Structure 1
Amino acid sequence: MTQSKRSNAGVVGWCLAGVIGMFGFGFAMVPLYEVFCEITGINGKTGARYESTVPLERDENRLVTIQFVAQNGKDMPWKFHPEVRSLEVHPGESIVMNYIAENPTDQAMVGQAVPSLSPSIGTQYFHKTECFCFTQQKLEAGERVEMPVVFIVDRDLPEHVSTLTLSYTLYDQKISVSTAEKVTKTNDNG
């Protein structure tokens, strides 16, 4: 083998190692990102599906304001808004709040909401027990639905936090109607 061929083989080897390394790093990013979001509360990673063995007790001496915000992602034509803009809640009580979605288009569409909570310290103390964000939502042309979120603000929320803002961004999932029908059947059965 000549010096030139060995040099080329070395470059090819380094390139292959780089591609394999980038591929592995891409796979590792998803779980690392999930852990990062759980720790920091970014991207709506709150205490989802809270289940407690301790009976809930309301803190009657304290009220926390929960603000509700809704927005659409790029190219999402649905009308999407909270039923109310804010509520005052006692920590420890279970609250049901609805978001309203309407598909004004002439075709069935599937959307999914991504939650976010601020300030980020609140993510440790805000527990969703039921949320439309856990599943994709299929709406027929012209259909309007109420989508509930059930949550509990933990009694251990630091005293200096008096307002939490729950925000949802609704995205078009751009999947076919037949896939959307399978999503609906799965959601109805599970």
Structure 2
Amino acid sequence: MRLRTENLQMVAKLAVVALGMFAFGYALIPLYRAICEATGINILSLSERQVPGNGAAGAAARSVARNTQVDRSRVITVEFDANSRGPWQFKPAERSIQVHPGELATVMYEFQNVQDRRMAAQAIPSYAPRQAAPHFNKLECFCFTQYTLDPGERKQWPVAFIIDPRIPKDVTTITLSYTFFEVGGKTPAAPLAHAAPVARPGADA
């Protein structure tokens, strides 16, 4: 009889522990959300946005976001430029956007082959100022791939990126420039993108 009583007590304790673990797990999501809001760490917000792609690019975006803190005290203007080296149309859907360092952003580029023949082409990027390049992390970009387009074919491609919060404080404007060239021809040199001059402390007005 005593053994049976002890077994029942043990079962009751285990049931209480199981219920406590379930309640703790259920409370984790609002707890994480409160921590994110208090610290500014972007853990959950990315899953609530449209993450570019479900493959390697999407996994990379989630990985970077887990390890990146959004700096909401700073705003960086990102300008987009497009250069064509051939008879086609190539342009960004937006000329510029403003982002916080550490924030995931996406912009679309539009391309159309206006020739009467099929073509294979690829894009190469450049950055201004140059010191911004190591801090401009592209998670998805059409420049990673060579494309074949039929006569008259029109495409839209995304560029998803995060600017590292460790970017120098004096960088307030970044120009991302692409040159689209036909594969098989002479590859052009990367264009020199022009960004607005950076104001330095102590400079004369």
Q: TM-score range with shorter-chain normalisation?
A: 0.5 to 0.7
Structure 1 residues 142-171: Cα deviation after superposition (integer angstroms, max 9, x where no partner): 111111111101111111000000000010
The answer (yes or no) to whether the contact 1:50–1:128 under 8 Å persists in 2 is no
Task: Give the 3 Å change call, closer, same or farther, for CA 81–53 of structure 1 in structure 2.
Answer: closer
The answer (yes or no) to whether the contact 1:50–1:127 under 8 Å persists in 2 is no
Task: Give the 3 Å change call, closer, same or farther, for CA 53–90 of structure 1 in structure 2.
Answer: closer
Matches within 5 A, 1:30-41: none
The secondary structure found in structure 1 opposite 2:64 is: coil
The secondary structure found in structure 2 opposite 1:52 is: helix
- Equivalent residue number for residue 140 of structure 2: 130
Match of residue 151, structure 1, among 157, 161, 167: 161
The answer (yes or no) to whether the contact 1:49–1:128 under 8 Å persists in 2 is no
The answer (yes or no) to whether the contact 1:80–1:100 under 8 Å persists in 2 is yes
- Equivalent residue number for residue 72 of structure 2: 60
- The residue identity in structure 1 corresponding to 2:79 is Q
- Equivalent residue number for residue 72 of structure 1: 84
- Equivalent residue number for residue 104 of structure 2: 94
The secondary structure found in structure 1 opposite 2:73 is: coil
Q: 1: CA distance between counterparts of 2:118 and 2:158?
A: 21
% identical equivalent positions:
41
Structure 2 runs not aligned, ≥5 long: 1-59, 186-205
- Equivalent residue number for residue 85 of structure 1: 95
Q: 2: CA distance between counterparts of 1:50 and 1:66?
A: 22
- The residue identity in structure 2 corresponding to 1:156 is R
Instruction: Calculate the TM-score normalised by the size of structure 1.
Output: 0.62
* Offset of residue 49 of structure 1: 8.7
Which structure has more relative contact order (CA 8 Å, sep 6+)? It is 1
- Equivalent residue number for residue 167 of structure 1: 177
* Offset of residue 57 of structure 1: 2.5
- Equivalent residue number for residue 103 of structure 1: 113
Structure 1 residues 111-160: Cα deviation after superposition (integer angstroms, max 9, x where no partner): 10010011010011100111100111111111111111111011111110
- The residue identity in structure 2 corresponding to 1:164 is I
Structure 1 runs not aligned, ≥5 long: 1-47, 176-190
Q: 2: CA distance between counterparts of 1:59 and 1:171?
A: 36
Residues matched between the structures, number: 126
